[in-house]
C-alpha cells in the first residue's frame, strides 16, 4: 500500500463533476486493497462543506 488512512494528499488531476481540482488537498479516510488498491479522500472547502472521491494510487501524492 502506498498510502495510509489519515494521510494528507494532493490530487494530481481534475474531477470536474465532483468540483475537485488538481492540487486540492484532502485526507484519506478509507484505504481499499480489494478488488484493487484505491483511496477515498475527503476534501473540505472554505464553507466547511465536505466532498469525497475514490482515487487510484497514481492520481494522488503525499502533501
Cβ contact 28:5 at 8 Å? yes
Provide the domain limits for residue 55.
8-62
Query: Over the stretch 1-55, which tens digit does the pLDDT of each residue have?
Result: 799 999 999 999 999 999 999 999 999 999 999 999 999 999 998 899 999 999 9
Closest Cα partner for 20 from 47, 37, 41? 41
Q: Judge whether 34 lies within some domain.
A: yes
Q: Judge whether 19 lies within some domain.
A: yes
Query: Over the stretch 1-12, which tens digit does the pLDDT of each residue have?
Result: 799 999 999 999
Q: Judge whether 31 lies within some domain.
A: yes
Q: Judge whether 3 lies within some domain.
A: no
* pLDDT for the residue 31: 97
Q: Judge whether 2 lies within some domain.
A: no
In eight-state DSSP terms, residue 46 is T
* pLDDT for the residue 5: 96
17: left (phi over 0), alpha (psi -120 to 50) or beta: alpha
* pLDDT for the residue 1: 74
Residue 20's SS3 state is strand
Q: How far apart are CA 4 and CA 21, in angstroms?
A: 22
Total of domains in the chain: 1
Query: What pTM did the predictor assign?
Result: 0.92
Amino acid at each position: 500500500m502506498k498510502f495510509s488512512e489519515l494521510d494528507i494528499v494532493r490530487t494530481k488531476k481534475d474531477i470536474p463533476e465532483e468540483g475537485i481540482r488538481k492540487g486540492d488537498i484532502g485526507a484519506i479516510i478509507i484505504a481499499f486493497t480489494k478488488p484493487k488498491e484505491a483511496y477515498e479522500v475527503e476534501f473540505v472547502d472554505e464553507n466547511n462543506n465536505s466532498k469525497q472521491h475514490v482515487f487510484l494510487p497514481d492520481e494522488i501524492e503525499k502533501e
